[in-house]
Structure 1
């Protein structure tokens, strides 16, 4: 399988030399575990290789539709262009959904285009594709989603559906590489082990204080905690989700070099740091945790005592001007 990756923006010469030197030293010190190929598909799994933008040019689609899909791709890999309007942290869609949203075990987004509308346990109602994208803006990008039916939302949805080209709709089956799957660890995840592993393997790109890396004011590696990171309602605050993402994808360019246990340990360390408030916050962290415990917070530490502090016990929204975007609302057909 081959996948397209969007190159990172060019660093200044000095920054590039510093980063290269630090990375080289880090790689020299680390004992890599090979092979680093992704798991083979299991019998019966549905395997899909998403089309590329090069294939779009010869697809026979209407030129205007091609332009919309390309716009969706541009927004997907550079969501920071919506900073201050729809995005209020240092994340892009491709920060979690890597390889332009195409890469297996890195949150490939094409599946959403063929299984939605569907019931979503997180918000306990039927979601369509635009609402699922809105959820990523609301939680992962600590943002305010584009309006449903807006140019940007249509473009992002069109890009998702382009990636799903050829996949049957509502084929509710076992999709290869659909998320961030990971086994349970042998030992209980350790904050202390996770801190040591983070400092040795992650801080080079994401900083000692979790604030990420910026060059000339532009985010190059996202913050993993703090005001510029995902909020307490993001899916990746669940330990198994972050652990799976780390195991399959991190450090960048060296997938599967973190063992299952190490991935869980790092996830425990990162996700026990503070970040902007869950947009569903009622004003009381214990009440909010209880309201969404079974459907979401049971898999994370929001609203619990960790390292001598009550996580999420604050009104901090990061850079976002409002707590709860209007689209975060219940829906029922009863």
Structure 2
């Protein structure tokens, strides 16, 4: 779609379609830099041409944002208040690449082997396909679900969670160590299991794989100061109340598709594969590069909880419980890689009703 339109002789930009308005101050790789992200055009929709903004005005805005970022880079500027140790779930994608605890800039970390492991674990977490390509045939990063490096409220936060392991895993029917849980994420969400279908069984991660140990070091670092064995108050808050769950058979993927086209395509694209915003891109929601059908996000209610409290990123929490479930039903009606070991899951526990990719037994 053409975004430049001539009205009364001036060049205009459709703010709804153009990606520049929000400026994120990002402490990444030791420096602050600007990220121009998807536009929240509501503040500009009341102008004389609706969602259209003159090109000169847009350029002036960009320059002002750049100047503001330069000023902020000279101080310990924090653009918003935290909710405890976490980024508030009410903040928009302007905070997408802000990390309350960032090992790449933390002055308490030195050049020791442990510090280097923590830093690498953080890089794997936030850029999994590039930092751990052997175990990430998908284009999904840990950070796509656990936003802000696992430090965002109601987005599967992981601060303090390392101290909860070992814990019982219902899917496998046994105790899981932290390493076991990380392996599961690689095998399912990053689809490392896809390597077995390609005949490369050695590509499967184990609890002693260096990438798994590095992520474990990062998550353990995030748990410093937390009480071992005490469940963090923010854990499990991205769940839709059971009283509001809609029976799976009553969810309508067509309604979910309509909601997707209305609320999600700016960042995820109509094909669900993600839209590039600067050097960042939302992970694919279906298809060969997405999570496989054995992942947690392949469960409708689990995905609905993520959507309900984390999306849409320009106005998180604005969807209703029903809308989130309809969206999840649509996304999980789409094809995705097959997890080859599903028959080993839920042997001692009842198969969840929202595990739509599993054969009922």
Q: How far is the alpha carbon of 1:53 from its aligned partner?
A: 2.4
Q: In the alignment, which residue of structure 1 is the partner of 2:199?
A: none
1:148 matched to which residue of 2?
Answer: 207
Relative to structure 1, is the Cα distance of residues 27 and 183 closer, same or farther in structure 2, using a 3 angstrom cutoff? farther
Structure 1: how far apart are the matches of 2:26 and 2:301? 25
Distance 1:55 1:199, change over 3 A: closer
Q: 1:186 to 1:296 in 2, by over 3 A?
A: closer
Residue of structure 2 aligned with 1:259, choices 296, 314, 320 = 320
3-state SS of 2:134 partner: coil
2:354 is aligned, of 299, 309, 322, to 299
2: distance between equivalents of 1:213 and 1:115? 36
1:92–1:131 distance in 2 versus 1, CA, 3 Å: same
> Given the alignment, which residue of 64, 69, 72 partners 2:113?
64
Query: Which residue is equivalent to 1:308?
Result: none
Which secondary structure state, in structure 2, belongs to the residue aligned with residue 85 of structure 1?
helix
User: Do the aligned partners of 1:118 and 1:128 also contact (CA within 8 Å) in 2?
Assistant: yes
Deviation of 1:294 (Å)? 4.4
Shift of 1:155: 1.4
d(CA) in 2 for partners of 1:57, 1:247: 32
Greater alpha carbon shift after TM alignment, 50-59 vs 188-197: 50-59
2:240 is the alignment partner of 1:182 = yes
- Compare relative contact order (CA 8 Å, sep 6+) and give the higher one, 1 or 2: 1
**Alpha-carbon distance, 1:206 to partner:** 1.9
Cα pair 2:38 2:266 within 8 Å, conserved = no
Contact 1:68 1:155 in 2 (8 A): yes
> Structure 2 CA distance, aligned partners of 1:69 and 1:175?
24
CA distance in 2, matches of 1:243, 1:153: 28
TM normalised by structure 2 equals 0.64
8 Å contact kept, 2:188–2:291: yes
Q: C-alpha separation between the residues in 2 aligned to 1:82 and 1:57?
A: 20
Q: 1:170 to 1:191 in 2, by over 3 A?
A: same
Q: TM-score, normalised by structure 1?
A: 0.69
Query: Aligned pair 1:163/2:212, yes or no?
Result: no
**Residue number among 327, 335, 339 corresponding to 1:278 in the alignment:** 339
Label 1:250 to 1:215 Cα distance change in 2 as closer, same or farther (>3 A).
Answer: closer
Displacement of 1:299 in angstroms is 2.1
Unaligned stretches of 5+ in structure 2? 1-24, 29-35, 47-79, 87-98, 193-202
> Does residue 246 of structure 2 align to residue 194 of structure 1?
no
Moved more, 182-191 or 93-102: 182-191
Q: Secondary structure at the match of 1:126?
A: strand
Q: Any idea what the Cα deviations from partners look like across 1:274-315, whole Å, max 9, x if unmatched?
A: 111123145xxxxx88x659444422222479xxxxxxxxxx
Find the aligned partners of 1:56 and 1:84 in 2 and give their Cα distance. 24
Report whether the alignment pairs 1:207 with 2:269.
yes
CA-based RMSD: 3.7
- How far apart, CA to CA, are the structure 1 residues paired with 2:162 and 2:124? 17
Query: Measured at CA, do residues 261 and 245 of structure 1 come closer, stay the same or move farther in structure 2, by a change above 3 Å?
Result: same
State the match for 1:234 in structure 2: 295
Q: Distance in 1 between matches of 2:252 and 2:284?
A: 21
Please list the CA deviations of residues 111-165 of structure 1 after superposition, one character each: whole Å capped at 9, or x if unmatched. 4311111221111111111110000001111115544333322211110011111
What is aligned with 2:308? 247
Contact 1:139 1:234 in 2 (8 A): yes
Q: Give the secondary structure class of the aligned counterpart of 2:168.
A: strand
Cα offsets for 1:160-181 (capped at 9, x unmatched): 011111111112x462244522
- Partners in 1 of 2:321 and 2:186 — Cα distance? 29
2:43 and 2:341 map into 1 onto residues whose CA distance is 40
Deviation at 1:183, TM superposition (A): 2.3
Equivalenced residues, count: 270
Match in the other structure for 1:119 = 168
Cα distance in structure 2, aligned partners of 1:213 and 1:241: 24
